[in-house]
Copies of this chain bind each other. A is one copy, B any other.
Amino acid sequence: MHRSKVRIVEDALDANNTIARANRDDFDRAGVSVVNLMSAPGAGKTALLERALTGLAEDGVRVGVLEGDVAGSFDADRMADLHVPVTQLNTEKGFGGECHLDANMVRTALGALPLAELDLLIIENVGNLVCPAEFHVGADARIMVCSVTEGEDKPLKYPLMFRACELVIVNKIDLLPHLEYDIDRLEDNIAKANPDATTMRVSARTGEGIDTFRRWLIEVPTRTKAMA
């Protein structure tokens, strides 16, 4: 039973990769760079975007958001307040309550995305440190957000997620004075899991470090075109 179970998972990942490539081709044709944003529940992905996306159009980057959630549209409603195009994708309805976005779910949403009007699409994945890292959706870059309230051991306990991302954002640093938390140990552990990852310390609440993150986001389309 175990052997057949693993086979199903591998077949599913192969099928997913095929659809992810089709998504990528469609994004490329539309000239849209795509970022897959992942984290544990409550690490602050939405608050980070609220801080970073405001006024991005003035910097010459037209940004849209695809919100993935099991249920509800709480994050999409928050994003819509920023006057950026937002599309909600719920994994509960029709997808069986999935704990991640896969390429097919994103493909289902393509028609609802105003790709012609965008330079950068941010896909906010379901809050989960395991499966979202296993499913490509067709993105150019992958970012994870890791909060300082979550413990320094997370890169060792969830290594695939940390390995899968080019950028690791360490959020909620405004809480450091109130925690027994060794942020250097966290960054050592990130480097053990993924020596190539860029890390940034930010606070979505106070705005500290957000400028650095915004510059990184602004450069995604440039980097993508340089690689193409």
Contacts and interface: CB of A to CB of B under 8 A. Distances in A.
Interface of A: 1-2, 5-6, 8-9, 12, 15, 40-42, 69-72, 74, 94-99, 104, 126-131, 134, 147, 149-151, 153-154, 156-160, 172, 175, 178-180, 205
B6 A153 contact: no
A179 B42 CA distance: 13
A129 B127 contact: yes
A167 B164 CA distance: 34
A41 B175 contact: no
User: How many protomers of this protein does the assembly include?
Assistant: 2
| Majority-rule SS of A interface residues | loop
A2 B104 contact: yes
Contacts of A147: 42, 149
Contacts of A150: 41-42
B71 A156 contact: yes
A71 B175 CA distance: 28
A147 to B, nearest CB: 7
B70 A158 contact: yes
A41 B144 CA distance: 14
A153 to B, nearest CB: 5
22 contacts: A1-B15, A2-B95, A8-B8, A40-B41, A41-B129, A41-B154, A42-B149, A70-B130, A70-B159, A71-B156, A71-B158, A72-B157, A74-B157, A97-B134, A99-B128, A99-B131, A126-B130, A128-B129, A131-B131, A149-B172, A175-B175, A175-B179
Nearest 6 interchain pairs by C-beta: A42-B150, A99-B130, A149-B149, A40-B41, A178-B178, A41-B129
Contacts of A8: 8
